[in-house]
């Protein structure tokens, strides 16, 4: 049984990523939850030292909850490619360099894939809710698909323009937000959050 977040709760979103801020604002607002970005509170970004998505999500959520005294919500997500042994994975943002340039990151993925015929790829999102007393709850979602080149579409963010979900023809970068939210890795993890903590 998840610890509940009643309507009217104010929570910190432990992210400085503008794309994630937009997506979570869209996902949380119908449930009466007020989201405060970590950047507005001047909270630093902790080092993500865990070897997996769930561990890094917990690090970020706990740091924000304990620094702010409010419940905090975090996401750690990444793009994984079968031909690269699951990379870039937890290092997805770092493949874009210090400036987090995802056009550069996508080009690097394509370069390293070379002539690989296995184009399977997937996105993973781990979401963590943390409370100032140290309690955490973590949820994980995944969506499978294909890595494509060249990238297509100017919507979404990150690696979205080079990923076509299974059964689809558009990349996440070409999809409208509502269409992406219906099937994305983040939406699948968020559905679990809703069932556990918002019911």
The pTM of the full predicted model, rounded to 2 decimals, is: 0.89
pLDDT number for residue 199: 55
Indicate if 160 belongs to the active site.
no
89-125: b or e for each residue (b if 16 or more CB lie within 10 Å)? bbebbebbeeeeebeebbbebbeebeeeeeeebbbbb
The SS3 of residue 164 is: strand
Q: Which CATH architecture has domain 10-198?
A: Alpha-Beta Complex (3.90)
Q: Which tens digits make up the pLDDT trace of 54-110?
A: 999 999 999 999 999 999 999 999 999 999 999 999 999 999 999 989 999 999 999
Per-residue pLDDT tens for 108-128? 999 999 999 999 999 999 999
Residues 47, 52, 76, 133: which is the catalytic one? 76
Backbone angles phi, psi at 85, to 5 degrees: 65, 30
């Amino acid at each position: 049984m998840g610890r509940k977040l009643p309507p009217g709760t104010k929570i910190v979103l432990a992210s400085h990523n503008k794309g994630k801020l937009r997506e979570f604002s869209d996902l949380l607002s119908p449930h009466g939850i007020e989201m405060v970005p970590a950047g507005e509170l001047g909270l630093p970004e902790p080092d993500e030292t865990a070897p997996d998505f769930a561990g890094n999500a917990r690090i970020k959520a706990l740091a924000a909850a304990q620094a702010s005294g409010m419940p905090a919500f975090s996401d750690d997500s990444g793009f994984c490619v079968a031909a690269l042994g699951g990379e870039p994975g937890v290092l997805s943002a770092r493949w874009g360099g210090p400036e987090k340039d995802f056009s550069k990151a996508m080009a690097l993925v394509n370069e390293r894939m070379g002539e690989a015929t296995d184009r399977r790829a997937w996105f993973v999102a781990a979401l963590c809710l943390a409370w100032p007393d140290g309690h955490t709850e973590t949820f994980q979602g995944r969506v499978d698909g294909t890595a494509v080149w060249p990238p297509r579409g100017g919507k979404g963010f990150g690696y979205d323009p080079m990923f076509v979900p299974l059964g689809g023809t558009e990349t996440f970068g070409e999809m409208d937000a509502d269409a992406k939210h219906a099937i994305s890795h983040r939406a699948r993890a968020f559905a679990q959050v809703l069932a556990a903590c918002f019911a």
